[in-house]
Structure 1
Amino acid sequence: WSRPMWLAKSLIGACLLANTCLAFMPTGSNMLHLRSSGRFSSQCRASPRVPALKLSKGRTAGLRMTAVTPETFEFQAEVSRVMDIIINSLYSDKDVFLRELVSNAADACDKKRFLAITENKGSADNLEIRIQADKDQKKLIIEDSGVGMTKEELINNLGRIAQSGTKQFAEMLKAKEKNKGDSAANLIGQFGVGFYSGFLVANKMTVTSKGLNDEQGRSYRWESEAGSSYTISEVEGDSSIEGKSGTRIELTLREDAEEYLDDLKIKALVQRYSEFINFPIKVFTTKTTYEQVDDEEANKDLKEGEAPKKKTIPVTKQEWEVQNKQQPLWMRPPSQVTAEQYEEFYKSTFKAFDKPLTLSHFSLEGQVEFRALLYVPSMLPFELGSNMFDENAGNMRLYVKRVFINDKFTE
C-alpha cells in the first residue's frame, strides 16, 4: 500500500452524539480521546456505586466477623428483570463484569475524596482498589477504600432501579441486538446496572460495606444468588475493612468462570479496561523467580581449592502489583506535556517501536466538550498491514470517563 493511502486510513473521523459521553483512542494507527462535559456525565456511568473496602495484606481467610441474623428483602421487580436481561443477553461478553465493578470502586473512591475536601469527612489518603483471587474457595474479591454504604444505601443502591430506566434499558438492548455492530455490554454502565453483571460469572455475590455516613461505624453484609430476594445482616467484629469506610465484593464463581481465578487473566482485563483509572488498581499476584544457591549434595565431595557448585531453584513470591501506572495525557493541557512524554505515551499505549509522524492534541467546548489526542504513525501499523479494509481491526478505541468501552466501529 502506498503511504498516502494508509495515512488516510489512519485519520479516522469521530462523530459526537448529543448527551453521550465519548472518548476515542485508536490503536496503532492513531489516537483520539473525547471527554464529555459534566452536564450529562452521570448518564454514562459504568455502574451503580458499589463502594469499596480494603484487603488485609493478601489474606482472604480467617477474617474475624460474626453476622447477625440476616433480614430478607425482595428485589424490586425491575431489578429481577434487569438481572435476567444481563445474564441471558451478555453471556458471551462476560469480561465486562470486571470493568463494571472496578468502575464502581473508582466511583466510591472519587466520592470519598470529594467529601474529604468539601465536607472534611474522612481522609482522601490511601484511596485504592484491590483485586485478589481465592483459588481454594473459588472466589474473586474486589475491594476499595472508598465511601462505603450504610444499610439504607445497600437497599437503595443494590435492591432498586428506577422503573423508567429499566424500560429504556430493555428497549435499547433490543435495538442493539438488531444491530450486530453494536455491543449490548456498553449499555449496562450507561444505565447504572453494571453491578449486576457480576452474576455473569458468579452464582453468589456478597457485598460487605462500611459506610462513611454511618456514625456508629457499622458494617453490613448484602448477599444474593440472583434470585428474587437478597439478605442484609450487620457484621459484628468486622476486620475485613480497614479504616472508616470501604466495600468488599466477593464473587463465588461458576464452574465455567474459574478462568477469572488466574491473576494473569485479571491483570490483562484491568489493563484493557481500566488502565487510565485515577486510583491505584492492585492485583495480588504470584511470581516465580530463579535463584542460584549452593548445591549441598554436589559439594559433599568438593576438593580443596574447587569452587562450590551451584544449582538453580525456583522461588515463589506473592505481592500486590499496581496495574495502571499510565496517565492519560489527553486530560492535561498541551502546554504541560513534553515531546518526550507524547512519544513515550504513544509507544507504551500502542506497543509501537516507531516515533509518531505527527500528532494533534486539542480541546473543544460547546454543547459537548471534549479533549482529543490524535497520533499518525510513521510506519504502517500491524492491524492495517494485515487487512487494510478490516472494520474489526480495532484501530480506534472508545473510552468513557477513562474506562475502555469499545474498539469495534463500523461507521
Structure 2
Amino acid sequence: MVTREENELLCRVTGDAPMGKMLRQHYWLPAILSVRVRKGEAPVRVKLFGQNFVAFRGADGNVGFLDEACPHRGASLALARVEDCSLRCLFHGWKISSAGEVLEVPNEPNNPKEFAKTVKVKHYPVREGAGLIWVWLGEGEAPPCCDFEWMDLPPEQVYAAGIELNANWLQGVEATIDSSHVALLHTSWTSNSATDFGATRENTAVTYEFDKKAYGFRAAALRSTRDGSCIARVTEFVMPYYGLIAPIFSGPNQDRTAIIAVPIDDENLIQWYIYYNPEKPVDSWRRTQRANQWPMAGGLPGDKSTNWGQNRQIMDAGNNTGFFEIVLEDFVVMVSMGPIVDRSQEYLCSADQAIVRVRRQLLEEVKAFMAGKTPKSAQCETMSYRDIRAVGGRLASASEDWRQIAR
C-alpha cells in the first residue's frame, strides 16, 4: 500500500518537489507538436512542471525554448516579435537569441553590450522527432536524448497526438501500463474485433509475469482461453513516463503505439500518443480518425457535470461506456478519479501488479535521487532504447514462455 506521504512524493512535481526535480534533471520529454511552432510566427506558450515557457522557430528553422518571462521585468515573451533567430520583448526592446544570449538592450545608456553579457537567460536544449519538440529542463550538461526507434522515422511513418487532462501525471502512467482493464472498460471495442486484442474478452482475469530491465520492466498480461491457448500482451514500461503498448494485430509490420504522460503541473498532464511503424507508412485511416476525433488541447468534451459527454442513449443501445472513441474511455475514467488520487485508500488486487511495480520503482528512484544518486534508469551512457518494442501474440498454452514472442 502507498502511504499518503509516499503518494505526495510520487505525485508532486512543481517547485522543489523531489519528483519534479528528478524528472527535469535526468529525462527528456515531449513538449509540443512541431507543427504548432512555425518559422517566424508568434511564440507558443508551453507549461511544464508548473513553469511557463515559450517555444519559437527562427529564420534558420531551429527551435528556441525559453522561460516565458523576460529577464528584464518579467513581461511575457509570448508577446515578443520574432526577429531572425531571436525574440524582441515588446516592453523595452530587449533582444534575446534562441541560445539564451541577450543581443540588444536598447534602454541601457552605459555600455549596453557589456551589460548584456551579464544577463542570464534560461534556455533549454531541444530536439525534434516523431512530430514533436522534445526538451530537457535540467541544470548543467544535458544527457543524450532518448533514442527510441520512432525518433528518426520519416513523417509518413510516425505521427503524434496529445490531450490535456485534469489529472496528475502518475494517473496517466498507470492508465497506460494497466492491461487488466482492456477486456472490461473497452468491451464495446473488443467484442467487435477478431484480433487477439479482441479475444481478451474471453478471460477478464489477468495473470502477470515480469522481466526487470535497466530502463524499467516488461509486463506480460496473460489470459488463458477456452481452447487451451494463452493470449499474451506485453507492455513495456520505460522510466519514468513511457508505456509501449502491444499492437492490436499479431505479427510483423504492425503499427505501434507509445504513450507518454507529461506533467503540466501537480494536477494536470498532457497524455501524448505516438503512432509509428518502423517498416512502412502508418495506417492513413487511423491517422485521419485520430485527427478528427481527438479534442487535443481543448481537453475532454464536457466536464464532471455532464460526465464528460457520456451518451446514455448509446449505452441503452448496447455501447458499454457511452463514449464514441476508445481512448476517450481511458481519459474519462482517469479524470473521474480527481486531480490527485489518494492511493492510501485503494484496495488493490493481484491484477494490479504492474501498477504496484511502477510505484515501487518510481519511489526507489526518487529516494535515491534525494540521496544524491543518479537514478539507475537515467544512467543512459550504457543504455539504448532503440530495440524496445511491445509485443503481443497467442501462445499454444499457458506453459509456454511469452518471451519467445519476437519483437
How would you bin the TM-score normalised by the shorter chain? under 0.3
- Rg larger in structure: 1
TM-score, structure 1 as length reference: 0.22
TM-score, structure 2 as length reference: 0.22
